[in-house]
Amino acid sequence: MIPLHFSADVQAAREKNHPIVALESTIITHGMPYPQNVETAQLVEADVREKGAVPATIAVLNGKLHIGLEADGLQALGQAKDVAKLSRADIAACIASGGTGATTVAATMIAANLAGISVFATGGIGGVHRGAESSFDMSADLQELAQTPVTVVGAGAKAILDLPKTFEVLETLGVPVIAVGQDTLPEFWSRASDLPAPLRFDTAAEIAKAHITRGVMGIAGGQLVCNPIPQNDEIPTADLQPIITQALAEAEAAGIAAKAVTPFLLGRIFELTDGRSLTANIALVRNNACLAAEIATEINKMKSV
């Protein structure tokens, strides 16, 4: 078994059987600019604590798989340049070679599962990119949801993607896609969409029960919880679509490919919205962290009876 390096708080939570919420680190290194990335990571950790759970931000630092970062580790990661973006394909190689890398949704799920953590909060998962019919660019996050038993709370998949294809693939892979409190899937920066939600739950307890039931039935994989961004923070789809289209055209013209696509698009949309996309992204991640803490608490209660 690969050694896991727990932060002091996460270690204490494990010993006392307190609920723990995993958090990813690619959003810090590749998803947001410094210093808002570190500030957001700190706020998200505080949100999880306020809801009565313990945050475990996950990253590989100098070959060590950290489950929970101390304050200085988080600061260093947020300012580091050229950090690897780790997924299922390269997390083991990074650890083996003593490297440093941030974990995407896929890699964070793997690490959370190794650490016995059932719930993970992020902004939005990766998915099928527009033009995937020729580029074949589909995030490894989708396959991971099909095989690793972690409930992932996001605000849907990122709106830069081909969302109908993304949800089609999730259906094929047998991943439960749950909208929270509404009948349509949220679109990351926007609350509603014209995509019907395959499943809907209105409470953390129901989502927790579905997670446990899948486990009891021996069904592999996790759940994707799509939690709409709070009303006051959303950017209407109509405002965003032209900007997303422009950013996509620029990415294509510049020959951006593979792992660089999502960070490039998020960065350009940040510039083209004068920072509004980042404000919304921060609000939705915090909202997801709160719900994830509630789900983790419910799972903990149900497991201890």
- Active-site positions read 24, 158
Q: Strand pairing partners for 153?
A: 121, 225
Nearer to Mn ion, 26 or 287 (CB): 26
Of 56 and 106, which has the nearer Cβ to Mn ion?
106
Task: Name the residue among 211, 236, 182 with its Cα closest to residue 301.
Answer: 211
Task: Map the footprint of Mn ion across residues 130-149, applying CB under 5 A.
Answer: 137
Residue 286: which of ligand PSU, Mn ion, none does it interact with, CB under 5 to 8 A by kind?
none
Spell 68-94 as b/e; 16+ CB within 10 A means b.
Answer: bbeeebbbbbbeeeebbbbbbebbeeb
Interaction between residue 24 and Mn ion (CB under 5 A):
no
In the complex, the smallest distance separating the C-beta of residue 261 from Mn ion, rounded to whole angstroms, is: 6
Choose among 305, 294, 304, 303: nearest CA to 119: 294
Burial of 287 (0-12, 13-18, 19+ CB in 10 A): buried
Provide the 10 A C-beta neighbour count for residue 45: 22
**Total residues in contact with Mn ion, by rule CB under 5 A:** 1
Cβ-based nearer residue to Mn ion, 31 or 228: 31
In angstroms, give the least distance from the CB of 102 to ligand PSU: 8
Q: Name the residue nearer to ligand PSU (CB basis): 13 or 105.
A: 105
Give the orientation angle of helix 36-50 with respect to helix 276-303, to 10 degrees: 30
Which of Mn ion, ligand PSU, none binds 27 (CB below 5-8 Å, type-dependent)? ligand PSU
250: exposed, middle or buried (Cβ count in 10 Å: 0-12, 13-18, 19+): middle
Nearest residue to ligand PSU on Cβ basis: 123
Which of ligand PSU, Mn ion, none does 208 bind, CB closer than 5 to 8 A by kind?
A: none
What are the residues binding ligand PSU (CB under 6 A)? 24, 26-27, 30-31, 104-105, 122-124, 126, 139, 141, 259, 262, 266, 281, 285
Find the farthest-apart pair of alpha carbons in the chain and give their distance in angstroms, rounded. 57
Q: How far is the CB of 127 from ligand PSU (least distance, A)?
A: 7
Residue 176 C-beta: closest distance to ligand PSU, Å: 18
In whole angstroms, the minimum distance from the beta carbon of 175 to ligand PSU comes to 15
Which stretches of the chain bind Mn ion, using CB under 5 A?
137
